[in-house]
Chains A and B, each alone.
Chain A
Amino acid sequence: MEVLFMGLREKLELLGVSRRDFLKFCTAVSATLALPPAMAPKVAEALEDDNRPAVIWLEFQSCSGDSESLLRSGRPKAADLVLDVISLDYAEVLMAAAGHQAEQAKHDSMEKNKGKYVLIVEGSIPVEDDGIYCCIAGDTALNQLKKAAAGAAMVIAVGNCASFGGIPAAYPNPTGAKGVADLVSGVPVVNLPGCPMNCDNLTALIVHYLIFGTLPALDNQLRPKFAHGKRIHDNCERRGHFDAGQYVEKWGDEAHRQGWCLYKMGCKGPQTWHNCPTLRWNDGLSWPVMAGHGCVGCSEPGFIDTMSPFYRRLPEVPGFGVESSATSVGLKLVGVATAFFAVHGVVSIIRNRGTVKKVEEEYYEKEEK
């Protein structure tokens, strides 16, 4: 019976995870959340209580990349996350039940935890032709989303598709795909974009919610500032080379091998707000620029239309150590995006790729002069 009342830490101890390792994890979460290290004990406390929030994970027009990202979680490990931190009551990729038993499990959890469960959404939602382009258990994604969101404490949109429409919403958006925030009202929505989302950010968000019972500060795209408060370019380890005007010119050239700046190979770091360079991926092992490929801007609204072609360099980011102009370009490009969103709504704005092209061309013309 004692086991029943054990907190996460005791259970981890049973499995050979030391107090020290546990606190290390708590400190890592605090760091991701940009909390002072002194908060680590509070993080530990929040994790030790058996107050696992019920989580319903819905997949719509997705590739399951975010579900897979969840399985790569290292801090805490996926098994601990799924067994000890949350109660994952519905998740198509992992759950044992199928068909109407699965739907029943979802229904039961939603009833029992009404107003308290966390709804996680992966994939965009098609709205054209009454939503027939994504049906689960005989009903549309749109209806499924609305029903589930109605009783949720908050909705977390994971990945760019659920956040902003992502790939399915790219021009010409054949199915009328939209992101969650565009379709749900009356419930707080948090976007964790990225393609896929980085699971460490999801863990940090859930832990924040467990500790404070509130959402972290969000930016104007509903992204947590702890994850999206700084541009890739500002934290990039190759920034010194950018400032020194040292660029990769060809794949595999000496500059590429020595880890110089990828700006001329199309890197979108200067206009992308994400913590990839500091958090990194797969237990902090690497991230795109570190492995030699430019950033493609996957955490931004309008991705992929505003970020492609991927290998064309951004306009007007001058080479020789001019911090101010780089910043202004970043702001300018974000400004372009923001102006769009103001006019057309936050998500699915890139209906008309011609407009994007026009804006881009204006920049390129200026660049050429």
Chain B
Amino acid sequence: MADRIVVDPITRIEGHLRIEAKVENGVITDAWSSSTMFRGIEKILQGRDPRDAWYITQRFCGVCTTVHSIASIRAVENAVGMKVPFNAEMIRNVIMGMQYVQDHVIHFYHLHALDWVDIVSALSADPVKTAALQESISDWKYSSADYFKGIQDRLAAFAKTGRLGPFGNAYWGHPAYKLPPEANLMAASHYLQALEVQKEIIKVHAILGSKNPHPQTFLTGGMSIPCDPNSQNAINADKIAMIMECNKTAREFVEKVYIPDIIAVAPFYLDWAGIGKTSGNYMSYGEFPDGREGHPNNLWLPAGIIKNGDLSTVHPVDHTKITEDVVHSWYEDTGPRHPWEGATDKKYIGPKPPYDYLDVEQKYSFVKSPRYEGAPMEVGPLSRMLVAYASGHKEVQDVVNHVLTTLGVGPEVLFSTLGRTAARAVETLIVARKMESWLMALAANINTGDYAIHDNSKWDPSTWPVQAQGYGWHEAPRGALGHWIVIQNKEIKNYQAVVPSTWNAAPRDDKGVRSPYEEALIGTPIADPEKPLEILRTIHSYDPCLACAVHVYDEKNELKSKVKIL
């Protein structure tokens, strides 16, 4: 097993992820993705009030902290037939939009950038040249040589304490780092700025939803933040102005820092446009209802599927074609099942901890393998941008074409690790530019005297049918997210979530076909097996979110006898 490298924990992600990869002649020839934590939240949901489900499922993930709430309330609304008022739809759009922007900014600067940026190299940069570099890419306000000198001094002071905290023992000096010191210093300062920006712009969630992480404002049938221009306890002109200010900050940072950074850094890493390709299936559920008909009508970002990298046709998405199988997951085998029938019993047959390697021939993950018409699908910003691009979405085409022309490359580079990272930036820009329109639509509607935020007619469970089932889709920042619910006698009978990281991080399926993470790693060069920085690049390009991916319920059973001792 000497040729198999293990990265566990994969850090700078949400949750617990382990990658094992086989390396031959400096290149990955096979890979296995495993999640090693689970909580059984779907089981915990059974028997509870469906109106509470959003709060509980919100705790699938504290990073993409709004997405499960949205999918959950939509599932219940779909099941019992609630009609969400226009104000509530627009409030949701503003909340979701800011989740996209803030989450992507955190992802790029705090979870992904250190795969490309060598902080130690920043110490030897010339602040004057750094200032020149900054000025050449945008007219961002923090661009003086003094400013960069200050940042450099601060980093140097920090380094000299010898106590590097979160920057300790990393891969600094690795040959795969290609940026000149000045670019590294510029990026390091953006790392610190982004830390400040993300916390400022996410105040939109506090204004509309009390706090972040885990805003507390969702209701099945609407939202709990009232609208009333004549009250200080509701959305009024003051709050709208505060949100506009946050939007402005967000947009400015994305336009003047995030996008220029991507364009400045990409040329040093163009080889990564040829690494990290998957089978070419991309799926999006579509998002942001943009009209008065409400979700799922008139979605601003379209739903669709692209097969085998063929951008000439966009196929429709049909939820009945989704199945999950568990041949390589630590559950009792049931054969592929649709989520409404999804019922799975845990069956851990992995090695007894502490262990060195997983038995990848058998079951090796708590993530199940979702398939669409039996095929794996990649989900996330790249899928969304490709589906929108191929569907003729004007804003997306404009920005994608601008980035491609500036870099002097064709659309084929998008099917890669670099493409995934660039698509996320493109999306952040178009969403940041769009948010104002939802806020203005909300304001205009309040101005007509319509203050409704909730469909009260179906709030009382006694108005519901005895038996109901529904599903709620949400295109989360990390990709296509679906919740499926079965309600019986006003209680949750069954609940299943198929989340973005389940699609991407899954183990192999019943036919032995790899899922996106595993597939994307094949062919990745590894300069130093002791420091597999390259694995982090591709895996981080997906923005993994593992606590979400593993949530499947289980029945208690006698397990100890089944634990396999290696």
- A residues lining the B interface (CB < 8 Å): 3-4, 6, 11, 14-15, 50, 52, 54, 59-69, 71-74, 77-79, 82-83, 86-89, 91-105, 108-109, 124, 126, 129-141, 143, 166-168, 170-175, 177, 195-196, 250-252, 256-259, 281-283, 285-293, 296, 304, 308-312, 353
Interface stretch of the complex, out of B208-216, B257-265, B407-415 = B208-216
- By beta carbon, the residue of chain B nearest A98 is B11
A109 vs B166: C-alpha distance in the bound complex, in angstroms?
11
A287 x B11 contact (CB < 8 A)? no
Is B559 an interface residue when CB atoms closer than 8 A count as contact?
Answer: yes
Is B150 an interface residue when CB atoms closer than 8 A count as contact?
Answer: yes
Q: Which of chain A's residues have a CB closer than 8 A to the CB of B114?
A: 96
Contact partner of B169 (CB less than 8 A), chosen from A104, A131, A137, A286, is: A104
For chain B, the count of residues having a C-beta within 8 Å of the partner chain is 109
Contact partner of A96 (CB less than 8 A), chosen from B6, B7, B119, B208, is: B119
A290 vs B346: C-alpha distance in the bound complex, in angstroms?
42
Shortest beta-carbon distance from A182 to chain B in Å: 17
How many contacts between A and B, using CB within 8 angstroms?
339
A72 x B199 contact (CB < 8 A)? yes
| A258-B233 contact in complex given A65-B62, A281-B210, A282-B199, C-beta closer than 8 Å | yes
A108 vs B162: C-alpha distance in the bound complex, in angstroms?
13
A101 x B214 contact (CB < 8 A)? no
Contact with A along B288-302 (1 / 0, CB 8 A): 000000000000000
B353 x A135 contact (CB < 8 A)? yes
8 A-B pairs in the complex with CB atoms less than 8 angstroms apart: A65-B214, A92-B13, A95-B170, A105-B169, A134-B16, A175-B39, A286-B210, A293-B210
B7 x A133 contact (CB < 8 A)? no
A259 x B214 contact (CB < 8 A)? no
Contact partner of A137 (CB less than 8 A), chosen from B8, B196, B211, B547, is: B8
Q: A14-B150, A78-B199 are in contact. List 12 more A-B contacts (CB 8 A).
A: A4-B160, A66-B62, A68-B212, A74-B199, A129-B559, A257-B233, A258-B231, A286-B207, A287-B210, A290-B233, A309-B52, A311-B49
A168 x B40 contact (CB < 8 A)? yes
Q: Which of chain B's residues have a CB closer than 8 A to the CB of A65?
A: 59, 61-63, 65, 213-214
Shortest beta-carbon distance from A366 to chain B in Å: 22
B454 x A252 contact (CB < 8 A)? yes
A97 x B348 contact (CB < 8 A)? no
Q: Is the interface of B mostly helix, strand, loop or mixed?
A: loop
B59 x A195 contact (CB < 8 A)? yes
A79 vs B214: C-alpha distance in the bound complex, in angstroms?
22
- By beta carbon, the residue of chain B nearest A250 is B456
Contact partner of B213 (CB less than 8 A), chosen from A4, A69, A129, A312, is: A69
Shortest beta-carbon distance from A72 to chain B in Å: 5
Q: Which of chain A's residues have a CB closer than 8 A to the CB of B60?
A: 63
Q: Which of chain A's residues have a CB closer than 8 A to the CB of B196?
A: 77-79
B168 x A105 contact (CB < 8 A)? yes
A72 x B202 contact (CB < 8 A)? yes
Q: Max chain B CB contacts within 10 Å: which of A59, A98, A109?
A: A98
Q: Which of chain A's residues have a CB closer than 8 A to the CB of B356?
A: 138
Contact partner of B44 (CB less than 8 A), chosen from A170, A287, A310, is: A170
A296 x B7 contact (CB < 8 A)? no
Shortest beta-carbon distance from B7 to chain A in Å: 4
A251 vs B51: C-alpha distance in the bound complex, in angstroms?
14
Contact partner of B209 (CB less than 8 A), chosen from A71, A82, A291, A311, is: A291
Is B232 an interface residue when CB atoms closer than 8 A count as contact?
Answer: yes
Shortest beta-carbon distance from B282 to chain A in Å: 26
B48 x A71 contact (CB < 8 A)? no
| A291-B216 contact in complex given A62-B547, A139-B354, A309-B51, C-beta closer than 8 Å | yes
Contact partner of B171 (CB less than 8 A), chosen from A101, A136, A250, A312, is: A101
A67 vs B175: C-alpha distance in the bound complex, in angstroms?
31
Q: Which of chain A's residues have a CB closer than 8 A to the CB of B44?
A: 167-168, 170-174
A167 vs B170: C-alpha distance in the bound complex, in angstroms?
34
- By beta carbon, the residue of chain A nearest B226 is A257
A98 vs B212: C-alpha distance in the bound complex, in angstroms?
27
Is B163 an interface residue when CB atoms closer than 8 A count as contact?
Answer: yes
B40 x A293 contact (CB < 8 A)? no
B211 x A83 contact (CB < 8 A)? no
Contact with A along B43-80 (1 / 0, CB 8 A): 11001110110011001111101000000000000000
A173 vs B201: C-alpha distance in the bound complex, in angstroms?
36
Shortest beta-carbon distance from B313 to chain A in Å: 38
| A63-B62 contact in complex given A286-B211, A309-B51, C-beta closer than 8 Å | yes
| A290-B210 contact in complex given A135-B16, A137-B9, C-beta closer than 8 Å | yes
Is B195 an interface residue when CB atoms closer than 8 A count as contact?
Answer: yes
Q: Which of chain A's residues have a CB closer than 8 A to the CB of B203?
A: 282-283, 285
Is B27 an interface residue when CB atoms closer than 8 A count as contact?
Answer: no
Shortest beta-carbon distance from A279 to chain B in Å: 11
Is B4 an interface residue when CB atoms closer than 8 A count as contact?
Answer: no
Q: Which of chain A's residues have a CB closer than 8 A to the CB of B532?
A: 99
| A251-B456 contact in complex given A52-B163, A82-B166, A281-B210, C-beta closer than 8 Å | yes
A97 x B199 contact (CB < 8 A)? no
Shortest beta-carbon distance from A28 to chain B in Å: 16
**Can you list the 5 inter-chain pairs with the closest CB atoms, starting with the nearest?**
A65-B62, A259-B233, A174-B40, A96-B170, A281-B211
Is B217 an interface residue when CB atoms closer than 8 A count as contact?
Answer: yes
A136 x B559 contact (CB < 8 A)? no
B62 x A309 contact (CB < 8 A)? no
A168 x B48 contact (CB < 8 A)? no
B49 x A309 contact (CB < 8 A)? yes
Q: Which of chain A's residues have a CB closer than 8 A to the CB of B453?
A: 251-252
A138 vs B462: C-alpha distance in the bound complex, in angstroms?
49
A173 vs B556: C-alpha distance in the bound complex, in angstroms?
10
| A292-B166 contact in complex given A99-B7, A175-B38, C-beta closer than 8 Å | no
| A167-B62 contact in complex given A99-B10, A136-B16, C-beta closer than 8 Å | no
Shortest beta-carbon distance from B496 to chain A in Å: 15
Shortest beta-carbon distance from A210 to chain B in Å: 16
Shortest beta-carbon distance from B352 to chain A in Å: 7
Q: Which of chain B's residues have a CB closer than 8 A to the CB of A133?
A: 37-39, 366
Q: Which of chain A's residues have a CB closer than 8 A to the CB of B226?
A: 251-252, 256-257, 292
B554 x A174 contact (CB < 8 A)? yes
A133 vs B35: C-alpha distance in the bound complex, in angstroms?
10
Interface stretch of the complex, out of B121-129, B151-159, B303-311 = B151-159
